[in-house]
């Protein structure tokens, strides 16, 4: 009788788990659709890019109408406004090494992972009217399970004064692309585009509130970010494939014109070096101390801004 009861309980648990996974993915798709309608002015997407090759950016994370970067086996770096503080995290799923929006099919090893916890910059103001241009729009997301065996990894830039003007950087995302008639359409695969760092004075003409110690401008008319790509990584790629990509910025803000006209605002990115001291900032400010589990993950996996695989 005990054995039969055990098997019944086990089967019920497995059925519940499978149903939970289905609901989670249905929730992801529903939220993706809702976000596209409700936050069209907030979520930048890649403009002027080409379809990425499988394996080029295995650290890219599909966060449900946002993007992120896997900077450690259990840690995703993205912007704070992508996942609201009031979201119930259980069942909220990301896709690591995903190349097709919302699915692991045809992604050359894409993996679903559940979000366990989020910590954002202590000075980021949720629900603020100008939060899309907030210089503290940065957050870390802890995954329930680690991800190992990626073919490429990423390291974090620690220098607030680097890169210099006109440095070519690569932006990736699953956002809209511009059709020949000028319309913006969804893409069904990860895209990437090379854009240049914009001089700070030129950037200030479009973004007077910019903090150059925390933010960076990059892009040009017809090349940059647009709706749906918030949180996606802006990286420096060495020539050849033997060096890690250097994570420089996080897509944070852009306008509805998506950098497609001379009057568009230049895309604004949060500098990645802010993430290095994120855990310390939480502890010192006393506003929200991360759980012991997340604190240990950060201590063990993020050292000197480099990923430990």
Residues 6+ apart with CB under 8 A from 28: 64, 92, 93, 102
H helices within 138-250, ranges in order? 200-206
163 upstream amide cis, omega within 30 of 0: yes
Kindly state the average pLDDT of the residues 57-63: 93
Provide the token pair at 57. Answer: 């950016």
Kindly state the average pLDDT of the residues 279-302: 49
User: Does any domain span residue 257?
Assistant: yes
Of the candidate ranges 20-29, 204-213, 293-302, the one whose mean pLDDT is the lowest:
20-29
User: Does any domain span residue 29?
Assistant: no
Please tell me whether residues 268 and 159 are part of one structural domain: yes
Which strand (E) or helix (H) includes residue 5? helix 2-38
Q: What is the pLDDT of residue 188?
A: 78
Q: What is the pLDDT of residue 250?
A: 94
Please tell me whether residues 79 and 176 are part of one structural domain: no
User: Does any domain span residue 103?
Assistant: yes
Please tell me whether residues 263 and 280 are part of one structural domain: no
Q: What is the pLDDT of residues 193-224, one digit of tens each?
A: 899 999 999 999 988 889 999 999 998 755 66
Instruction: Kindly report the average pLDDT of the chain as a whole number.
Output: 72
Kindly state the average pLDDT of the residues 266-284: 71
Of the candidate ranges 234-238, 245-249, 280-284, 296-300, the one whose mean pLDDT is the lowest:
280-284
Please tell me whether residues 192 and 286 are part of one structural domain: no
DSSP string, 30-96: HHHHHHHHH-TTT----BS-EEPPTTS-TTEEE-SSSEEEEEETTEEEE-STTS-TTS--TT-EEEE
Question: How many structural domains does the chain have?
Answer: 2
Residues 6+ apart with CB under 8 A from 149: none
SS3 of residue 131 by DSSP: helix
User: Does any domain span residue 3?
Assistant: no
Give the confidence band of 62 by pLDDT, cuts at 50, 70, 90. very high
Q: What is the pLDDT of residue 111?
A: 92
Which CATH number covers residue 138? 2.40.10.10
Please tell me whether residues 281 and 147 are part of one structural domain: yes
Closest CA to 267 of 32, 37, 35, 46: 46
Kindly state the average pLDDT of the residues 76-104: 81
Please tell me whether residues 264 and 283 are part of one structural domain: no
Percent of the chain with pLDDT over 70: 56
How far CA 103 is from CA of 26, 37, 150, 303, in Å, comes to 11, 20, 18, 32
C-alpha span between 48 and 223 (Å, rounded): 5
User: Does any domain span residue 11?
Assistant: no
Please tell me whether residues 267 and 298 are part of one structural domain: no
Please tell me whether residues 160 and 253 are part of one structural domain: yes
Is residue 266 scored above 60 in pLDDT? yes
User: Does any domain span residue 248?
Assistant: yes
Kindly state the average pLDDT of the residues 32-58: 60
Q: What is the pLDDT of residues 106-124, one digit of tens each?
A: 667 789 999 988 888 878 8
Percent of the chain with pLDDT over 90: 22
The pairing of strands 111-120 and 139-143 is antiparallel
Kindly state the average pLDDT of the residues 239-268: 76
Give the confidence band of 170 by pLDDT, cuts at 50, 70, 90. very high
- φ/ψ (deg, to 5) at 12: -65, -40
C-alpha span between 272 and 142 (Å, rounded): 17
User: Does any domain span residue 18?
Assistant: no
pTM: 0.75
Quote the domain boundaries for residue 218: 155-273
Residues 6+ apart with CB under 8 A from 252: 44, 79, 81, 132, 133, 134, 137, 215, 230, 268, 269, 270
Is residue 149 scored above 70 in pLDDT? yes
H helices within 187-291, ranges in order? 200-206, 278-285
User: Does any domain span residue 20?
Assistant: no
Which strand (E) or helix (H) includes residue 6? helix 2-38
């Amino acid at each position: 009788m005990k054995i039969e009861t055990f098997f019944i309980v086990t089967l019920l648990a497995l059925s519940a788990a499978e149903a939970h996974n289905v609901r989670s993915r249905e929730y992801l798709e529903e939220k993706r659709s809702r976000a596209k309608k409700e936050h069209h002015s907030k979520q930048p997407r890649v403009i002027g890019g080409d379809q990425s090759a499988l394996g080029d950016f295995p650290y890219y994370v599909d966060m449900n109408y946002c993007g992120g970067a896997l900077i450690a086996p259990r840690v995703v770096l993205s912007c704070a406004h992508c996942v609201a503080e009031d979201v119930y995290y259980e069942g909220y799923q990301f896709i690591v090494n995903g190349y097709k929006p919302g699915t692991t099919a045809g992604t050359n090893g894409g993996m679903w992972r559940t979000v366990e916890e989020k910590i954002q910059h202590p000075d980021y103001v949720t629900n603020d009217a100008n939060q899309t241009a907030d210089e503290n729009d940065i957050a870390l997301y802890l995954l329930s399970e680690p991800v190992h065996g990626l073919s490429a990894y990423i390291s974090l830039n620690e220098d607030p004064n680097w890169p210099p003007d006109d440095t070519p950087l690569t932006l990736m995302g699953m956002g809209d692309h511009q059709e020949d008639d000028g319309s913006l359409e969804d893409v069904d695969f990860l895209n990437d585009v090379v854009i240049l760092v914009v001089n700070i004075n030129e950037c200030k003409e479009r973004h007077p509130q910019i903090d150059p110690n925390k933010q960076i401008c990059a892009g040009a008319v017809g090349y940059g970010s647009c709706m749906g790509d918030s949180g996606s990584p802006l990286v420096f790629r060495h020539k050849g494939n033997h060096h890690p990509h250097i994570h420089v910025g996080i897509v944070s803000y852009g306008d509805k014109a998506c950098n497609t006209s001379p009057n568009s605002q230049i895309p604004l990115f949060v500098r990645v070096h802010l993430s290095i001291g994120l855990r310390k900032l939480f502890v010192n400010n006393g506003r929200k101390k991360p759980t012991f589990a997340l604190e240990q993950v950060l201590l063990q996996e993020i050292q000197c801004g480099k990923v430990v695989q």
